[in-house]
């Protein structure tokens, strides 16, 4: 029993040495929860910023569309103003030409003399004044019409200048808004990327938490197993002590029975002594029973679902392999990893492989299908030494 207890303790220490490099850099669940909470808060903040940026983008796009509408309307008004200016200029030119023709006709045809004669032919002073006033009104009307056309042209020219200035400002505002919109679009892209990165980090933390829970479950199972073995060892020790005590009592009783026989049967001292010696020898040898052989090192020491599998070996030192597993474990820091078929052994499980020890099922492979397990080693020489063999795999958790 002592040998068995020693074998269990040695196995436990071996398991601890195997687990130590695997979880030397593992974070506690409390640390992972804090990190997950911090990333979640950051993601919520980024989501809020993203929504604000989205609202700003929508507003800027609306402003851009409004300015473009104003630019379009102003362009139409500007074109109409240009047409009105052109028509007014044509009317002014026509009016000037008409006045020039009348003046020419008056000079050639003696229009001035006729106007004077018309005034002189008046019957009285009242008719003279009426005729003179009428001639003045006609001349002033011509001058007023030409002047009004000139004012209309000036007004239209000023309107054209204002519209051109407004058009230039609208285009400048549109370009400024489009620049701001482009910046907001870039900001939204960055925020979306940050959210995607945070999502990846949260998935990695979730995997780490699963690994940590598996590790704690394995430690708990090992602790329970150790307590169970300790209780069994203590019970066996107590039973052995009781057995030794009973043997000693039987020996004393045998001596007590032999003494009277030696005094009454003095004719047979040698025989009695021989018998007593034989009985004592048998009694003293009775507690020394043969202790059971310790379990083979290749036999799993943990409890759980047991599978018989074919095992191969691989190493991250090989040029064709990377340093990181399918679960993101760095094999340079945590070399105690096995590759499995996830449909047979779920990723993240703690397993014990006979002859290899306790490891994490943290990797996969194209050739790892069904009841095949690929054990990782730090060097290629260890892989060659391991070769291909049949192993017993116990899924701890």
Q: In whole angstroms, what is the distance from residue 252 CA to residue 273 CA?
A: 15
pLDDT band at 106 (very low <50, low <70, confident <90, very high): low
Q: Domains of the chain by range and CATH?
A: 23-267 (1.10.287.2610), 305-395 (2.40.40.10)
**59 SS3 class:** helix
pLDDT of residue 282: 43
Buried b (16+ CB within 10 A) or exposed e, 16-53: eeebeebbeebbeeeebeebbeebeeebeebeeebeeb
Calculate mean pLDDT across residues 49-53: 79
pLDDT of residue 234: 85
pLDDT of residue 277: 43
Q: β-strand 389-395 against 337-339: which pairing, if any? A: unpaired
pLDDT of residue 360: 95
Higher pLDDT, 133 or 104: 133
Identify whether the C-beta of residue 302 lies closer than 8 Å to the C-beta of residue 396.
yes
Higher pLDDT, 15 or 292: 15
**pLDDT of 7-21, one tens digit each?**
544 444 445 454 444
pTM over 0.85: no
Calculate mean pLDDT across residues 292-300: 40
**pLDDT of 361-371, one tens digit each?**
999 999 999 99
| Helix and strand numbers, DSSP H then E, in the chain | 6, 6
Calculate mean pLDDT across residues 203-232: 83
Average pLDDT, the chain: 77
pLDDT of residue 23: 44
End-to-end CA distance of the chain: 29
Close Cβ partners of 132 (under 8 Å, ≥ 6 residues apart): 119
Q: In whole angstroms, what is the distance from residue 362 CA to residue 20 CA?
A: 16
């Amino acid at each position: 029993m002592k040998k068995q207890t020693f074998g269990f303790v040695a196995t436990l220490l071996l398991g601890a040495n195997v687990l130590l490099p695997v979880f030397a850099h593992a974070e506690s669940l409390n640390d992972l929860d804090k990190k997950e909470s911090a990333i979640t808060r950051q993601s919520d903040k980024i989501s809020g910023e993203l929504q604000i940026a989205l609202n700003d983008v929508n507003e800027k796009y609306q402003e851009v569309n409004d300015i473009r509408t104003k630019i379009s309307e102003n362009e139409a008004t500007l074109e109409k103003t240009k047409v009105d200016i052109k028509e007014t200029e044509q009317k002014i030119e026509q009016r000037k030409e008409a006045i020039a023709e009348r003046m020419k006709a008056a000079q050639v045809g003696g229009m001035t003399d006729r106007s004077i004669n018309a005034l002189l032919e008046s019957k009285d002073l009242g008719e003279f004044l009426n005729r003179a006033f009428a001639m003045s009104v006609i001349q002033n009307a011509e001058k007023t019409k030409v002047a009004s056309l000139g004012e209309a042209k000036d007004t239209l020219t000023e309107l054209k200048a204002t519209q051109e200035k407004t058009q230039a400002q609208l285009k400048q505002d549109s370009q400024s808004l489009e620049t701001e919109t482009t910046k907001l679009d870039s900001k939204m892209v960055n925020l979306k990327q940050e959210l995607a990165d945070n999502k990846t980090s949260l998935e990695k933390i979730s995997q780490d938490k699963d690994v940590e829970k598996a590790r704690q479950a394995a430690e708990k199972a090992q602790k329970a197993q150790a307590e169970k073995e300790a209780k069994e060892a203590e019970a066996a020790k107590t039973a052995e002590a009781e057995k030794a005590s009973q043997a000693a009592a039987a020996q004393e009783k045998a001596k007590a029975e032999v003494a009277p026989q030696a005094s009454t049967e003095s004719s047979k001292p040698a025989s009695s002594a021989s018998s007593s010696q034989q009985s004592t020898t048998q009694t003293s040898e009775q507690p020394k029973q043969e202790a059971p052989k310790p379990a083979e090192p290749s036999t799993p020491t943990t409890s759980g679902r047991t599978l018989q599998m074919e095992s191969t070996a691989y190493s991250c030192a090989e040029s064709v392999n990377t340093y990181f597993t399918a679960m993101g474990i760095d094999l340079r820091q945590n070399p105690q990893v096995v590759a499995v078929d996830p449909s047979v052994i779920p990723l993240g499980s703690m397993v014990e492989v006979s002859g290899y020890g306790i490891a994490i099922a943290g990797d996969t492979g194209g050739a790892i299908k069904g009841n095949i397990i690929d054990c990782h080693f730090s060097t290629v020489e260890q892989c060659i030494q391991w070769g291909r063999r049949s192993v017993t795999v116990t899924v701890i958790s």
